[in-house]
Amino acid sequence: QSLQPLEAEIPIPVYGGGNRTAGKQDWRGSVDCPTLEFEYGDADGHAAELSELYSYTENLEFTNNRRCFEEDFKTQVQGKEWLELEEDAQKAYIMGLLDRLEVVSRERRLKVARAVLYLAQGTFGECDSEVDVLHWSRYNCFLLYQMGTFSTFLELLHMEIDNSQACSSALRKPAVSIADSTELRVLLSVMYLMVENIRLEQETDPCGWRTARETFRTELSFSMHNEEPFALLLFSMVTKFCSGLAPHFPIKKVLLLLWKVVMFTLGGFEHLQTLKVQKRAELGLPPLAEDSIQVVKSMRAASPPSYTLDLGESQLAPPPSKLRGRRGSRRQLLTKQDSLDIYNERDLFKTEEPATEEEEESAGDGERTLDGELDLLEQDPLVPPPPSEAPLSAERVTFPKGLPWAPKVRQKDIEHFLEMSRNKFIGFTLGQDTDTLVGLPRPIHESVKTLKQHKYISIADVQIKNEEELEKCPMSLGEEVVPETPCEILYQGMLYSLPQYMIALLKILLAAAPTSKAKTDSINILADVLPEEMPITVLQSMKLGIDVNRHKEIIVKSISTLLLLLLKHFKLNHIYQFEYVSQHLVFANCIPLILKFFNQNILSYITAKNSISVLDYPCCTIQDLPELTTESLEAGDNSQFCWRNLFSCINLLRLLNKLTKWKHSRTMMLVVFKSAPILKRALKVKQAMLQLYVLKLLKIQTKYLGRQWRKSNMKTMSAIYQKVRHRMNDDWAYGNDIDARPWDFQAEECTLRANIEAFNSRRYDRPQDSEFSPVDNCLQSVLGQRLDLPEDFHYSYELWLEREVFSQPICWEELLQNH
């Protein structure tokens, strides 16, 4: 089932007239958003990542795990606690636990599994602080791995996935609750804790732990004992859940584990940058001009606007002489001009007194919006501010040394420039020849020289060229040697079910999006958060409401990061692997889905406080749970923003950029779905990385939005110029490029699809008797080949001769005539 287009739910602006549904309150409060001190990374802090594994509904199970462990431990060890044992005694006890897991009784098996989970959780009953819990959790997880716990739990997970009784029981129930997935949740929790704790690298780790980490990474990456990689098993759980055959699967835990396994085996974002540098060196390409991660980190956020003036108001405004006489109007204009001044260290006009009610009313009389969300970000100042009103001291203003990015030029851009120049000055072209400049004037020579200085050859360009050569000359070039990397093995395993995997992930993302409306046919993603008995008091309902929202946010975070990691790794491994995944995401309506996600008050989503700090792990294991009150629900939450929500938003924007970059047909989808006002609204969030990817998405579609839009959004155009990388000869700001003409969208996607299918067929569909295999024409060697015949063939040999040879009439004349 494909995701539905979103025309009905995305506001459609009327260019030149504005979207009348936009209200004053949408933009009025945005100036209060401070610059968000957010550091982008592979994941949140270690404690935060562990705490997100558990829903608040599961908190009662911590004591249950502890009780199961203590009951079992007392029968095996007398008079000592776990932390008092020597390492050999601890290993012996874990071996006994794993032996006791191999029992027929599900209840006894679950109790032992809970005891193992308590160890993985850090034996918190013997700890005094949260730091101790996290320390012993890591220690115990390494110990559990060394004793073979992960492989044992993997076998148990296979049993639970194939447990048809649990599936049919869940299907018969009108409402699935957390009780239906108890065994699965315990198994997945142990495996997640082991992956997350072992994945985390610290300088103080002993040598044995480092060796264990690499061994564990290898086990998860490659097919061990003729089994598929672990990530593929989790992908199959996702598709089984989405098909409705296993509604009781704890999908949040599955997705979190899948994300962490992919990140652990393939590598995170910083590791990706290292791999990219290595790959460019292997291909003989020049090194990268800059580290994109560091450039983005050094960027400063643009100041969001305080309020908006409609285009009509600026046209009907009084002359400048009258405006100068009104202090309030002048102050509005000054604020307006400075709204996107990225060079100012702080707002120059923050110290001024607030405008009076009369001034606000006069500003509000002419308020109308353009494109649904037109604000100060998009407006030019009506008059320049007098110097006396805005004293700019050297201490308060910092000017950039230059643009943040080195400009890039593709080979295609140089060829296109020379083609136009030759047509203009000579009257004919020389195809792809970029060296012959005879007959062209001196300025063209200088231009070509400058373009070649900034020429950038990507890894994808080399891979596409190699693929074209392999398609043309399969015999002379021979068979391609494909290195068996973890990424390559994962792609091979995902290849034939990849469309189902992508659709399943997007279905869950749609169900978890805060803008989604509850529908009867939507997937129930709350099976592992809803309690058996629904809340009866207001406070219990508040707690469950926070838990459900937090649950959805974690799902969005895990899916957005998982998809981005897969795309980036596949793009580095081979461009057509990336294009294959991208195309299936586009076919499943990923672009309108992400736009639907952003069609909300993003500032509210990023600053949402859907967490209860006293109930978070490991805090809840050390302290006694307080009595549920309104104060306890809000206690200890002083964060400026929600890390996971900002992380999710940036990853979804990066994902959208990946899907649309250099794809004119997909860029037109952004235009068709009226994405400009939705994306502009996200610029209110003062975070440089988020703003950068929003501006990139606006840049690629400006040429399609018309002159009136560009004229009315000059502040955005200026921000794009200052923050986004320049592509020489890219006519993005004027719309005179050939790409701005009507495009044959279907042909572009079909050509790409044909190239992808040719790649997959050549590399992965290689039958034994292919048409290029050598043929033996020697009669003696053909007759002398030894054939493997069935054991009983010599008993029935004479019967076979009689039936197949002697009794079959052969018409030799007809045989000769046919040949």
Q: Is residue 666 part of a domain?
A: yes
Is 504 found in the same domain as 422? no
Residues 708 and 615 in one domain: yes
Q: Which segment of 14-28, 212-226, 452-466 scores lowest on mean pLDDT?
A: 14-28
* Counted domains in the chain: 2
Residue 196 lies inside a defined structural domain of this protein: yes
**Tokens matching residue 324:** 């100068």
Mean pLDDT of the chain: 81
Residue with tokens 């979190």: 256
Please tell me the distance from the alpha carbon of residue 692 to that of residue 221, in angstroms, as a whole number: 34
Q: Mean pLDDT check: name the lowest of 179-193, 202-216, 427-441, 643-657.
A: 427-441
Mean pLDDT computed over 353-373: 34
∠ CA 686-692-693, nearest 5°, is 115
Q: Among 659, 691, 723, identify where a domain stops.
A: 723
Distance CA 97, CA 69 (A): 10
**pLDDT beyond 70 at 287:** yes
Examine the domain organization and report whether 429 and 548 are in the same domain.
Answer: no
For residues 110 and 151, membership in a common domain is answered with yes
- Report angle CA 688, 690, 691 to the nearest 5 degrees: 65
CB 367 within 8 A of CB 309: yes
By percentage, how much of the chain surpasses pLDDT 70? 80
Residues 438 and 515 occupy one common structural domain: no
Whether residue 398 lies inside any domain: the answer is: no
Can you give the length of the chain in residues?
819
Q: What is the pLDDT of residue 370?
A: 29
Per residue in 737-772, pLDDT (tens digit) is 555 455 567 788 899 999 999 999 999 986 545 555
> What does pTM read for this prediction?
0.81
Question: At 32, is the pLDDT very low, low, confident or very high (cuts 50, 70, 90)?
Answer: low
Residue 126 and residue 264 in one domain = yes
| Phi, psi of 727, rounded to the nearest 5 degrees | -115, 110
Domain boundary among 698, 723, 748: 723
Average pLDDT estimate for 468-485 = 86
Give yes or no for residue 340 having a pLDDT over 50.
no
Q: Using one digit for the tens of pLDDT, what is the confidence trace for 67-80?
A: 999 999 999 988 88
| 306 falls within a domain | no
- 627-634: long-range contacts (C-beta < 8 A, 24 or more apart)? 628/539, 628/540, 628/543, 629/539, 630/539, 630/542, 633/539, 633/542, 633/543, 633/546, 634/609
Q: How many CB atoms lie under 10 A from the CB of residue 748? A: 14
Other C-beta atoms closer than 10 Å to the C-beta of 191 total: 23
**pLDDT per residue as tens digits for the range 100-131:** 998 888 999 999 999 999 999 999 999 989 99
Judge whether 191 lies within some domain. yes
Token pair of 205, please? 């780790």
Place of tokens 């008079």: 79
| Residue 23 located in a structural domain | no
pLDDT given at position 770: 53
ω into 354 cis (within 30 of 0): no
Place of tokens 């600053």: 607
| Rounded-to-integer distance, Cα 350 and Cα 377, Å | 17
447 vs 798, more confident:
447
| Vertex 338 angle, CA 335 and 342, to 5° | 150
Rounded CA-CA distance 713/283 in Å is 42
Same domain, 584 and 491: yes
Phi, psi of 522 (to 5 degrees): -80, 160
- Domain housing 564: 46-286+484-723
pLDDT of res. 225: 63
Side chain identity, residue 580: Y
- Cα–Cα dist 505/555, whole Å: 10
781 assigned to some structural domain = no
Same-domain check for residues 446 and 500: no
Could you tell me the pLDDT band of residue 344, with boundaries at 50, 70 and 90?
Answer: very low
User: Which of residues 723, 758, 791 is at a domain's end?
Assistant: 723
Amino acid letter at 794?
H
Whether residues 445 and 549 fall in one domain:
no
Question: 445 and 509 in one domain?
Answer: no
Amino acid 150 reads: F
For residue 17, tell me if it sits in a domain: no
Question: What is the rounded distance in angstroms from the CA atom of residue 350 to the CA atom of residue 576?
Answer: 51
Judged against a pLDDT cut of 90, whether residue 395 lies above it is answered with: no
Dihedral sign for Cα atoms in the order 169, 170, 172, 173: positive
Note whether 525 and 449 are same-domain residues.
no
- Same domain, residue pair 488 and 450: no
Q: How confident is residue 545, by pLDDT bands cut at 50, 70 and 90?
A: very high
Q: How confident is the model at residue 304 (pLDDT cuts 50, 70, 90)?
A: low
Q: Give the model confidence (pLDDT) of 307-326 as tens digits.
A: 343 333 333 334 444 434 44
CATH number, position 271: 1.25.10.10
Q: Look at the block and give the residue holding tokens 């079909």.
A: 750
Q: What is the pLDDT of residues 688-720, one digit of tens each?
A: 999 999 999 999 999 888 889 999 999 999 999
Distances (CA, A) of 531 to 51, 106, 249, 261, 650: 19, 22, 15, 28, 32
Crossing angle for the helix pair 411-425 and 442-453, nearest 10 degrees? 170
